[in-house]
Every structure is written in structure tokens, then in C-alpha cells.
Amino acid sequence: MEFHRVIRARRSLRAYSTRPVEPEKVERMLEAARWSPSCANRQSWRFVVVDRDAPTRGAVEETLDVGNAWARRAPVLIVAGSSRPAGAVVESREYHLLDAGLALMSLVYRGVDLGLLVHPMAGWKEAPLRAALGLPDDFAPMTVVAVGYAGDPAELDEAARKKDEKPRVRKALGEIAFSPRWGEPFPATLPPSPAKVFETDIQLRFRDTDAMGHVNNATVVSYLETGRVRFLVELFGARRVEDIPFIIAEVSCRYRLPILLQDPVRVRMWITDVSRSSYRFRYELFDPTDGRLFVEAETVQVMYDYAAKRPVPLDPAFLASARDYVSGE
């Protein structure tokens, strides 16, 4: 997966499937962690992998806070932390925790890259965890990471499901990054994320549903098409097929909740990754009455000259019309 897509796909969701995780995927995650940077190359990070059949598994699950009960379904739990004496100290700065954090991020992103749901947790009790795994006193456990495949949110308890359905929030860039000195917001030039979004309602039809009782996954892709055509009609004045000189090079969907026939569905979309001949649409299909997110999706459009049979540079007029909808994420 392209790296920016891994960043986008990573979520700390809570619904896990019981599908086992292939052992080599866990190994690949640990291998990514092993190649992380560390102060003075001390590599002070340490991991303990506890899979479903491990004799220590029950004891580790017992350490989880009630609010993290969802994590018991995850086939693999990884305890991550650092060895204090192994870490470098510069002036009075102890780098072992930063080493562990950097390695954890590599581990998490590699897991997402492999199609896994990887969720770090701080909600667990340290003393019983130490006892369960025989952790030495000079090891600082920092997180228990749930690893598995995404499951059905309908199987979560209500509290956990509500947390997963909350919209994601982040502080503005200027609140967390300064230049040239503390307190002076970093001068962001890219549009904030999400940029201005285009929204349009989708009319569901009875035939959109399939034997599973919800809107068919392939049909969802045609909802993206509807959004795209309306976007191009409203912003670009497209009237004929020839006015839409793009081909679709890539489609990806992340199905979060099943869409039922009676659900109101709206598509929200914006543009990212504008390059010479292509750009990416990001989409969210959601319920406008309560904000439930059904699907996150992306498509890549390549501007194409059908006569010459090759990609051509994006039309400056298109870029000018779409400018407000381009996000810098």
C-alpha cells in the first residue's frame, strides 16, 4: 500500500473478527519495528507476543480494563515497551521511551499495510501484567496492542460501538506545530483536512440489496460513481460523456457498517493527491441523520486522451474549479 494510504487507513477501531492472524504477518510487524531508528542505535524496544493459544493469554486478558473488553477478541496481543538500561541517556534525557514509540509506530503501520487492525491500549493493570509475563523490573511496559482483522461492529457492546462511530478529530496544525519559535503557528500552505467537501444524497433502490440483506458491496462502487458524476456536473458543468475525460485507475473501499434499504445515505467527497495527470477522490458514505459512517472509499482518476490513448496533464480549468475541494492530507 502507498504510505499515505496506510496513514489514512490506520484507525483504532474496536470490532475484531476471530479470524486468526498469520504468524508471518506478526513477524513482519516485528521486523519493521526492528528497523526503526533509535538513539545511539541502542534498540531499547522490547515486545512480548501473546497469541490466542499462549498459556499466558488468559492472565493478560484479565489485566485489561473493562472498557477494553473488546480487545479479548483480538487473536494477538502484543505488549510493547522498553528496557530502561538499554536506552541511551543524553544530558538528562532518557531516550528508551522514544525508541519504543518509534518502533511501535513502525509495527502499527506495517500491520495496517498487511490489512490488519492494530489498536494500542493504555487501559490495563501493570502489576498483574508484569506477573503474568515475567517482565523484569527494568522493562517499562507502555502498551498492550490488539492485533487482528476487522470484524462486525454489530457484535460490539453499545459503548464500544459508539466510540467507533464517533467522527475523528485532530487539533489544527498551527496548534501543534510552531515556527520559527514556540507559540507561533507553523505557516500551513496546504488546505486543511478535510477540505471543503461536496455532498450529495444517494437514492437507494430495492435491487441494490443482495442475499445478505444489505446493499451489495459492488453496488457501493456505483454510489461513488453517482457522487463523482454529480460533482463534475455541478462544478465543472459536465453535460456529456466527453466532458468527463478521466479514466478510473484505482478503486478501494473500506466497509464499516452494512447499508440497509431503509438507511438514508449521503456521499461526502473531496480531492487529494493532485499530481500531473491524476488526482484522488476520497469518499465517505454516511447517514446524514445520525452521522453513522458506512463506507470510506478512494478512487484515482487519470486524465486521458482517448484519441492518443495516453494520460495527459490535468486541465488547468478543472483544477481551478476544484481548488476549494482539494485537501492537503
Nearest approach in angstroms of CB 70 to ligand FMN is: 8
Closest to 149 in 3D by CA, of 17, 292, 12, 293? 17
Site for ligand FMN in 75-134 (CB under 6 A): 120-123
Q: Is the Cβ of residue 111 or residue 227 nearer to ligand FMN in the bound state?
A: 111
Beta bridge partners of 285: 267, 295
Nearest approach in angstroms of CB 205 to ligand FMN is: 33
Q: For residues 37 and 102, is the Cβ–Cβ distance under 8 A?
A: yes
- The answer to whether residue 66 forms part of the interface with ligand FMN (CB under 6 A) is no
Q: Is the Cβ of residue 75 or residue 227 nearer to ligand FMN in the bound state?
A: 75
- The answer to whether residue 72 forms part of the interface with ligand FMN (CB under 6 A) is no
Q: Which of 44, 68, 272, 299 binds ligand FMN (CB under 6 A)?
A: 68
Q: Is the Cβ of residue 68 or residue 83 nearer to ligand FMN in the bound state?
A: 68
Nearest approach in angstroms of CB 175 to ligand FMN is: 16
* Phi, psi torsion values for 81, nearest 5 degrees: -170, -155
- The answer to whether residue 194 forms part of the interface with ligand FMN (CB under 6 A) is no
Report angle CA 194, 300, 256 to the nearest 5 degrees: 60
Q: How many CB atoms lie within 10 A of CB 247?
A: 13
Total site size for ligand FMN, rule CB under 6 A: 9
First to last CA, the chain: 16
- H or E element in which residue 123 lies: none
Provide CB contacts within 8 A for 138, sequence distance 6+.
83, 84, 85
Nearest approach in angstroms of CB 108 to ligand FMN is: 9
Site for ligand FMN in 228-257 (CB under 6 A): none
Nearest approach in angstroms of CB 11 to ligand FMN is: 4
Residue 143-182 contact track with ligand FMN, rule CB under 6 A, x = bound: x------------------------x--------------
Whole-number Cα distances in Å, 160 to 68, 91, 143, 155, 212: 8, 43, 19, 10, 25
Q: Is the Cβ of residue 13 or residue 215 nearer to ligand FMN in the bound state?
A: 13
